[in-house]
Amino acid sequence: MQLQDVSLGYLTKREATLALESITFSVEDGEFLSILGPSGCGKTTLLSIIAGLLTPTTGNVTLGNQTITATSNIGYMLQQDYLFPWRTIEDNITLGLKIKGVYSETTKAAALNWLSQLGLADKKDLFPNQLSGGMRQRVALVRMLATNPSMMLLDEPFSALDYQTKLKLEDLVFQTLKKEKKTAVLVTHDIAEAIAMSDRVVLLSPRPGRIHHIFDIPNDIAKALPFEARQHKSFNDQFQMIWKEMESLASTS
């Protein structure tokens, strides 16, 4: 996936606001990349552009030499699970298949297999309000995986969970995406989470969001499970380096 000179401006009756300016970077196949930055710098806006939900004012976003649009095969996992409360878990995870017109006994079986792999096979006939927050997020992950997306976008998907559940789900998502060799982009405000899950971390400046720095995470941290990565002897050095850069942005904003 390639972003080339992406900018986005908003025009109101009172003023013109530049939200993002001249964003250029690529994400390699199978790479896990995180986007960090101060509040209001345009992280979620950038993710919406990558998803094809917003059209940049200038620049373009391509996936496999094709311009990304809202119909591109991209998965999106949000902070809230947005499961339909009146549908069973099975109905929720197969909804994307039906919308895309690819629902069949084969694709249904694949979705249910994902549910089983994530430890929820016995929950398929339940409704969302019968599950814990962590279980619901696992269902949201299955719903995303069921359509076999080319790339996965994660918008602070763990931030509403308690800390223990968050750490467990980080490991589960990391393992699942690496096993499937999925390309993923995570938006987070959590420096430790970004380091623990990523191959690289993109730090955006305050609005208008620009690329301030791209950090390469050392290979022995990047390949470890997030929980193990947090225990690595070099983890704190990485944290301090990114923290200082974020502090420098705060002092100049």
Predicted structure pTM score: 0.91
Predicted confidence at residue 252, as pLDDT, reads: 66
Average pLDDT over residues 217-245: 96
Same domain for 64 and 181? yes
104 in the same domain as 40: no
Q: What is the largest CA-CA distance in the chain?
A: 57
Q: Which residue range(s) make up the domain with 112?
A: 80-149
Burial 26-63 (b: 16+ CB within 10 A, else e): ebeeebbbbbbbbeebbbebbbbbbbbebebbebebeb
- Are residues 102 and 225 part of one domain? no
Q: What SS3 state is found at 209?
A: strand
The pLDDT value given to residue 189: 92
Total domain count for the chain? 2
Residues 49 and 167 in one domain: yes
Rounded distance, CA 193 to CA 172, Å? 13
Q: Nearest 5°: phi and psi at 38?
A: -65, 160
Query: Same structural domain for residues 188 and 236?
Result: yes
pLDDT confidence of residue 253: 56
**Percent of residues, the chain, with pLDDT higher than 90:** 72
Q: What is the pLDDT of residues 17-69, one digit of tens each?
A: 889 999 999 999 999 999 999 888 999 999 999 999 999 999 999 988 888 88
